[in-house]
A and B are shown apart, each in its own frame.
Chain A
Amino acid sequence: MMQNTHIFKIQRYSIHDGPGIRTSLFFQGCPLRCPWCHNPESQKMPGKIQTEEMDGLVLRLMAEIEKDRIFYDDSAGGATFSGGEPLSQPQLLFQLLEQCREKEIHTCVDTSGYADAKFISSLAEKADLILYDIKLMDARAHETLIGKPVFPVLDNLRLLSDRKARVCMRFPLIPGMTDTEANITGVISFLEKDTVFRKIHILPFHKAGEGKYAALNRENPMKEINPPSPERVAQVKAEFESRGFQVIIGG
């Protein structure tokens, strides 16, 4: 597994971050602080990449991505850029997206949507598929729990909808946080009214990131919270479906 300060992990045979068999590159740095984050080590912003380092870095990462081309071909897979927040390093992300397009490798970008609108418009043009998180509709709750305002996330999603970008929605189902009735109804009516997106993945909370907090010497904010029951997941799924959404559980 290749690692550096800008890409904190490369995961081959990634099968839950977009279609087919994929190689996922996890970008270091995220402006948000979701308490359920299972990659807390990715939150800290990395230093800026020196211009002279950029080409070499892109070259190395592309070589890594191209290694599994035979698997992408067979499974209609490709590369996924995740994080962290890939848009926190837009220059690197867009170079990789351009290179992949040139080499005919399908790309997915897994984003929180919390980014400058101009980057979101480039994304609409350069990525083959955008995996877009929608977490909390309530502005106050968003700001308190996640540390940043919600409006850029919603505005950017409208923008992607207007541009007819290929987007797959992702909704993390977190007990006591995102799984309230008000929030779920809020998400549904927002997507219905303001966007064309009708495909959503429900990502039930899991405790896979638990050990990482200990390794970082940080208190795990989700220590007391358990994954939602299968019944609850099914209930939420039914709720989305009753409104005409195509729902998939998991990535």
Chain B
Amino acid sequence: MNPRIDCLRAKTRAKEVSLSHERAVLVTDFYETHAAMGESIPVQRALCLKHILENKKIYIEDQELIVGERGPEPKAVPTYPEICLHSLEDLEILNSRPKVAYKVSEETRQIYKEKIIPFWKGRTIREKIFSAMAESWLDSFHAGIFTEFQEQRSPGHTAGGDLIYRKGFTDLKSDIRRCLGRLDFFKDPTALEKQGVLRSLDIAADALISFAGRHARELDRLAASEKNPERKMELEKMAAVCRRVPAHKPGTFHEALQYYWFLHVGIITELNPWDAYNPGRFDQNLYPFYQRDIENGTLTQEQAKELLSCFWIKFHNHPAPPKVGVTAKESNTYVDFCLINLGGVTPDNRDGVNELTYLVLDVIEEMRLLQPSSMIQVSRKNPDRFIKRALKIIATGFGQPSVFNTDAILQEMALHGKSLEDARSAGASGCVEAGVFGKEAYILTGYFNLPKILEITLHNGWDPRTKKQIGLETGDPKQFNTFNDLFNAYQLQLNYFADIKVRGSNIIEQINGAHMPVPLLSLVTEDCIENARDYNQGGARYNTSYIQGVGMGTLTDCLSALKYYVYDLKRVSMEKILAALEKDFSGEDILHHQLKKSPKYGNDDDAADDILRRIFRAFHDAVTGRPNARGGVYRIDLLPTTCHVYFGEITGALPDGRKAGIPFSEGISPVQGADTCGPTAVLKSAAKIDHLKTGGTLLNQKFLPELLTDEKGIQAVVHLIRSYFKMDGHHIQFNVVDEKTLRDAQKNPQAHRDLIVRVAGYSDYFVDLTEALQEEIIQRTAHTVI
């Protein structure tokens, strides 16, 4: 690492995360003046973005090469009061909570009290959502049956395609002009609406061009007064880059990176979409620029690496927008889920690994930063060398890059009506969510608590925690004669709650479509311009909504225990189990021990895994194919972020022997410690899920460091991955760490500030995790060799 990068890296790591009122003030100013009142909502939103980008502070860090900050300085995180208004209590919680805190100054609190709160109270999307939801939705939400992704953040979950590497914003503006000219006010009754959308996209394009221009002017100013001739030249060059992009298509590697970065900052300033934004198929998109510059002799490999490192630091400067309440619990991290994709195949189906891929892997290893997250896409066509290079980074215990199956993603996409070329340009964003980059709005709607629904079923529709009848009356479980009776009751409840969730999400999509268009995100998502329709209204080529199932392993083990003891062996009565659950197994040690011995998921044992298959089918059938409000359909994902901890917290004792409040299994991983037959058995079990019918599944494995110390160990893991992917597994990642280190880190957090672990679909500093989550990770089975 050269001194420049060393210094920038140290700065971003040391910088405290704070909350900035800058954006909140600018948005409020804009709406207070009513300057845009006569305009359509899309145009108002575009003008609002323009107002922010033309007035926010421009920050340029000493020595940096890529410019643009969302806040007034690095790690100063803005708020989005039009989506979710933080109360003074929220600000205090954010400021003082022990983990994932955001420092809030006295000035910010004052501004919130006097200006932001009075203006926005009663006008936010969050309030619109809650007031539009039916009582059954609210009951389910408060009981913890599901979460709602859009209650504090706007829809997003998307990644950029190759558009911006082909076209500058002036090109996009001429596309807009062409579409405006094509509008037929005689025959098209929606022409006016379309005109408004197209105008909003055009304004958003201007807004970002002018934001880049402000940077160019600031860089000129800095260059004029710069004493060091080398830096002076750099600043002049950077100013020239900012004049060129995003207005024009990029001509160099540096311009391509800067173009993306302006767009990234613009999109996460426009609103606070989930999973920020994402440069998509990074090595493929950037390779032509890299290759050309290297051939021209205008760029050396060292310079490319330095630019990439500067680019990496920009991501690290941007922690996730502050989350509170349930949203903070389901995603309790600073990580904002930008996931760099490497490898895979090209749109014309060749091996996508190139020279730049390896250079980026070097950068990932050297930077060792939580943000951006990174992954490798592994296709049958990619060489083993590529996987081994990534495993050598994973073996350092960093939890990055994660490993995805290109051939599975391709089928997941192509089987859902996408063209083959589009499917090949797909990837995974966020944690593990597959989508066609740059052309699909695939929106996650919330986590779905599969084990809690069993608790409700076992109480005949009643929730013991909120003490309410929130589900259907599917019968007293003591009266069920067969396992099928029990499963049918479960499935009825599952369908009932899926109905409630989908109905709510359709309303929420309409609220966002009507009130929160996103002109800038729409501008760069194909085919919003052609359709003259906003991203949030279904303007993208593909529009999918996801519900993410949580607790597959836990639920499988619960049903397996009931099937085994109550119905197959008839050794324990349902009555006895229900009574023990009521008491959280207190005084029921023998029964507790017994339940823990029933067949468990994760051991390649069909006695348990057949139940998993059945649960998967039930969940899939309850959701998949239902129409959403944007012209697409609902599908399922299986991932939790940190929601398996929250869902566990609000669920009582369960028949697999899990006590009340304990976290559920994570992703599609087995219950912590239940898998005792080694990693091949886990992979076989996990492959019994029909991955191709999902938009992403998440499997984490914990390996002791010894397992990856030598070439043979690394090679064996390459084979494990290839075999899992041959069975159509979607994703796998490894935590390479031993218990002693984790226990020691709990005791001496200061000595382990740098310890990084894989949580779910992302990595985080171990000491920043809640105690419940730390414990959950320690309890996971650690594979070793004897």
Binding site for B on A (CB under 8 A): 1, 11-16, 20-21, 67-68, 70-71, 73-75, 77, 208, 250
Residues of B within 8 A of A67 (CB): 604, 680-681, 684
Which one, A11, A21, A208, contacts B716 given CB within 8 A? A21
Which one, A13, A75, A77, A208, contacts B783 given CB within 8 A? A13
Residues of A within 8 A of B713 (CB): 15
Stretch from B64-72, B451-459, B611-619, B721-729 forming part of the interface with A:
B721-729
Residues of A within 8 A of B785 (CB): 13-16
Beta-carbon contact of B678 and A71 below 8 Å: no
Beta-carbon contact of B710 and A250 below 8 Å: yes
Q: In the complex, A1 Cα to B676 Cα: how many Å?
A: 7
Q: Contact mask B712-734 → A, CB, 8 Å, 1/0?
A: 11011001101100110000000
Which one, A1, A11, A71, contacts B723 given CB within 8 A? A71
Residues of A within 8 A of B604 (CB): 67
Residues of B within 8 A of A15 (CB): 712-713, 716, 785
Q: In the complex, A68 Cα to B681 Cα: how many Å?
A: 8
Beta-carbon contact of A70 and B712 below 8 Å: no
Q: In the complex, A250 Cα to B703 Cα: how many Å?
A: 19
Beta-carbon contact of B680 and A21 below 8 Å: yes
Q: How far is the CB of A112 from chain B (nearest CB, A)?
A: 18
Q: In the complex, A49 Cα to B715 Cα: how many Å?
A: 38
Q: In the complex, A215 Cα to B195 Cα: how many Å?
A: 80
Q: Is B786 interfacial (CB-CB < 8 Å)?
A: yes
Residues of B within 8 A of A11 (CB): 678, 786
Q: Can you list 20 A-B contacts with CB-CB less than 8 angstroms, sorted by A residue number? A: A1-B676, A12-B677, A13-B678, A13-B716, A13-B720, A15-B716, A16-B785, A20-B719, A21-B716, A67-B680, A68-B684, A70-B726, A71-B680, A71-B720, A71-B723, A74-B723, A74-B726, A75-B716, A75-B719, A208-B786
Q: How far is the CB of A17 from chain B (nearest CB, A)?
A: 9
Q: Contact mask B627-657 → A, CB, 8 Å, 1/0?
A: 0000000000000000000000000000000
Q: Is B679 interfacial (CB-CB < 8 Å)?
A: yes
Q: A16-B712, A21-B716 are in contact. Are A74 and B684 (CB under 8 A)?
A: no
Q: How far is the CB of A113 from chain B (nearest CB, A)?
A: 22
Q: In the complex, A12 Cα to B603 Cα: how many Å?
A: 11
Beta-carbon contact of B681 and A12 below 8 Å: yes
Closest to A248 in B: B712
Closest to A73 in B: B723
Beta-carbon contact of B710 and A1 below 8 Å: no
Q: How far is the CB of A10 from chain B (nearest CB, A)?
A: 8
Q: In the complex, A21 Cα to B678 Cα: how many Å?
A: 12
Residues of B within 8 A of A12 (CB): 677-678, 680-681
Q: How far is the CB of A72 from chain B (nearest CB, A)?
A: 9
Q: How far is the CB of A235 from chain B (nearest CB, A)?
A: 20
Considering the complex, which residues of chain B in the window 666-711 have a beta carbon less than 8 Å from any beta carbon of chain A? Answer: 676-681, 684, 710
Q: In the complex, A68 Cα to B683 Cα: how many Å?
A: 10
Closest to B713 in A: A15
Q: In the complex, A70 Cα to B723 Cα: how many Å?
A: 6
Q: In the complex, A133 Cα to B786 Cα: how many Å?
A: 18
Q: In the complex, A70 Cα to B785 Cα: how many Å?
A: 19
Q: In the complex, A75 Cα to B783 Cα: how many Å?
A: 19
Beta-carbon contact of B719 and A71 below 8 Å: yes
Q: In the complex, A208 Cα to B706 Cα: how many Å?
A: 13
Q: In the complex, A73 Cα to B727 Cα: how many Å?
A: 13
Q: In the complex, A111 Cα to B310 Cα: how many Å?
A: 57
Q: In the complex, A16 Cα to B713 Cα: how many Å?
A: 9
Residues of B within 8 A of A14 (CB): 785-786
Beta-carbon contact of B727 and A21 below 8 Å: no
Residues of B within 8 A of A250 (CB): 710, 712
Closest to B721 in A: A74
Q: How far is the CB of A243 from chain B (nearest CB, A)?
A: 24
Closest to A10 in B: B677
Beta-carbon contact of B720 and A21 below 8 Å: yes
Residues of A within 8 A of B726 (CB): 70, 74
Closest to A67 in B: B604
Considering the complex, which residues of chain B in the window 714-771 have a beta carbon less than 8 Å from any beta carbon of chain A? Answer: 715-716, 719-720, 722-723, 726-727
Most buried by B among A11, A13, A14, A15: A13
Q: How far is the CB of A81 from chain B (nearest CB, A)?
A: 16
Closest to B687 in A: A70
Q: In the complex, A1 Cα to B714 Cα: how many Å?
A: 24
Residues of A within 8 A of B677 (CB): 1, 12
Q: How far is the CB of A65 from chain B (nearest CB, A)?
A: 12
Q: How far is the CB of B708 from chain A (nearest CB, A)?
A: 11
Q: In the complex, A67 Cα to B678 Cα: how many Å?
A: 12
Closest to A77 in B: B719
Q: In the complex, A16 Cα to B711 Cα: how many Å?
A: 12
Q: In the complex, A11 Cα to B678 Cα: how many Å?
A: 8
Residues of B within 8 A of A1 (CB): 676-677
Closest to B683 in A: A71
Q: How far is the CB of B619 from chain A (nearest CB, A)?
A: 26
